[in-house]
């Protein structure tokens, strides 16, 4: 992943240990969903459809620390729902950082300016702000006017206070290569974010409008056209070069969903956060009881159009670490 040098060293050390021990399945990053409640109601969201009693539930700080300790992953990405609704989010982040973890806090940024004072800049902590397009397009996706301006104002303030700020943008069938370029140019050049993550919207099981999501050939054509003319090299994309090759159809990657597992109020999700084939209480149980060979493109029809980061970026990271040429490309692309 295009991450700062300190974070790359932590990750490199962790991967080396796994290699020495000849472990083949292990977690790199845990997607933590400490709640499903949100202060927005985006049309493409499957989380907020849960019944009220589920939306009221929260993972405790201790549950999250216990899960991270049990699985041993060096990184976590806290999402949801909207994590800043969680009353102890600042404590959770502090405790994770105190245990040496790399923490990404994913937010729609509506509460960011109000809650920012509870957090401190840290080399292993990043805000990851959800921006799906420029003003009109973003507000339309999240179904609320004014959200883009609020997110941009919070993003600028976070940068001003010295936080590392990354963004996450999802693209759909209605997006053109120019739409992708205009939002990435804005984030890269005008807001000067530290890193940008992009994904093709994928029609996961609970997604309400599957017709709006991109097929693999459509996603590849979109990213290939958007990346052309040196744009890909110019942008501070927070993803490994090999994963970006995969997005634009220059490489193929198998799915390795055990490496970015999902832990939520239901437990560890089988096989990944996009599909719910059951939940278990521990990561060890997840590894042992999931029939991993059943999943991935060509094996499970539900995976047919999936190019998701959670399944394919770890494959790219592990291939990068195992190849001198790819490691050199990633180092050139890293943002220290």
Residue with tokens 């290699």: 19
Task: Write out the E strands in the chain.
Answer: 29-33, 75-78, 102-107, 125-130, 164-171, 195-200, 262-264, 267-272, 275-280
Span 111-170, contacts to ligand SF4 by CB under 6 A: 130, 142
CB 96 within 8 A of CB 112: no
Residue 183 CB, nearest approach to ligand SF4 (Å): 16
40 binds ligand SF4 per the rule CB under 6 A: yes
Residue 170 CB, nearest approach to ligand SF4 (Å): 9
31 binds ligand SF4 per the rule CB under 6 A: no
Q: Can you tell me the distance from the alpha carbon of 186 to that of 300, in angstroms, rounded to the nearest whole number?
A: 38
Q: Cα(first)–Cα(last) distance of the chain, in Å?
A: 12
Residue 153 CB, nearest approach to ligand SF4 (Å): 17
272 binds ligand SF4 per the rule CB under 6 A: yes
Residue with tokens 């923490």: 103
42 binds ligand SF4 per the rule CB under 6 A: yes
Interaction pattern, residues 292-311, with ligand SF4; x per rule: CB under 6 A: ---xxx-----x--x-x-xx
Residue 84 CB, nearest approach to ligand SF4 (Å): 11
269 binds ligand SF4 per the rule CB under 6 A: no
Nearer to ligand SF4, 2 or 80 (CB): 80
Residue 136 CB, nearest approach to ligand SF4 (Å): 17
Among 48, 111, 221, 287, binds ligand SF4 (CB under 6 A): 48
- For residue 41, the tally of other CB atoms under 10 A from its CB is 11
Q: What are phi and psi of 200, to 5 degrees?
A: -80, 135
Nearer to ligand SF4, 73 or 308 (CB): 308
- For residue 16, the tally of other CB atoms under 10 A from its CB is 11
Residue 233 CB, nearest approach to ligand SF4 (Å): 27
Q: Which of 181, 260, 189, 271 is nearest to 223 (CA)?
A: 181
Nearer to ligand SF4, 67 or 303 (CB): 303
242 binds ligand SF4 per the rule CB under 6 A: no
Q: Can you tell me the distance from the alpha carbon of 37 to that of 49, in angstroms, rounded to the nearest whole number?
A: 9
Number of residues that bind ligand SF4 (CB under 6 A): 27
Q: Which residue is nearest to ligand SF4 (CB)?
A: 311
Residue 80 CB, nearest approach to ligand SF4 (Å): 5
Helix (H, G, I), strand (E, B) or coil at 130: strand
At a CB cut-off of 8 Å and minimum separation 6, what does 198 contact?
Answer: 168, 169, 170, 171, 180, 184, 223, 237, 239, 247
By CB under 6 A, name the binding residues for ligand SF4. 38, 40-42, 45, 47-48, 80-82, 108, 130, 142, 255, 257, 271-272, 274-275, 295-297, 303, 306, 308, 310-311
């Amino acid at each position: 992943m295009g991450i700062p040098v300190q974070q790359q060293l932590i990750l490199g050390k962790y991967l080396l240990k796994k290699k020495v021990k000849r472990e083949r399945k292990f977690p790199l990053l845990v997607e933590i969903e400490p709640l499903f409640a949100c202060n927005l109601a985006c049309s493409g969201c499957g989380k907020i459809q849960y019944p009220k009693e589920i939306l009221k539930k929260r993972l405790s700080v201790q549950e999250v620390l216990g899960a991270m300790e049990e699985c041993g992953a060096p990184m976590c990405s806290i999402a949801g729902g909207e994590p800043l609704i969680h009353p102890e989010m600042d404590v959770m982040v502090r405790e994770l950082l105190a245990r040496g973890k790399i923490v990404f806090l994913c937010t729609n940024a509506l509460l960011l300016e109000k809650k920012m004072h509870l957090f401190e800049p840290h080399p292993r902590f990043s805000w990851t702000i959800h921006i799906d397009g420029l003003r009109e397009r973003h507000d339309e996706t999240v179904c609320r006017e004014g959200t883009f301006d609020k997110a941009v104002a919070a993003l600028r303030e976070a940068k001003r206070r010295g936080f590392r700020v990354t963004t996450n943008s999802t693209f759909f069938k209605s997006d053109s290569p120019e739409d992708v370029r205009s939002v990435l140019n804005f984030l890269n050049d005008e807001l000067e974010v530290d890193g940008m993550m992009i994904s093709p919207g994928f029609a996961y099981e609970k997604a309400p409008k599957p017709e709006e999501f991109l097929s693999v050939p459509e996603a590849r054509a979109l990213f290939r056209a958007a990346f052309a003319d040196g744009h890909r090299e110019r942008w501070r994309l927070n993803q490994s070069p090999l994963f970006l090759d995969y997005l634009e159809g220059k490489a193929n990657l198998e799915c390795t969903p055990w490496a970015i597992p999902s832990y939520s109020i239901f437990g560890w999700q089988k096989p990944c956060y996009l599909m719910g084939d059951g939940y278990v209480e521990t990561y060890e149980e997840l590894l042992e009881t999931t029939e991993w060979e059943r999943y991935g493109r060509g094996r499970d029809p539900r995976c047919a159009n999936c190019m998701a980061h959670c399944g394919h970026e770890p494959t790219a990271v592990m291939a990068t670490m195992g190849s001198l040429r790819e490691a050199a490309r990633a180092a050139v692309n890293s943002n220290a």
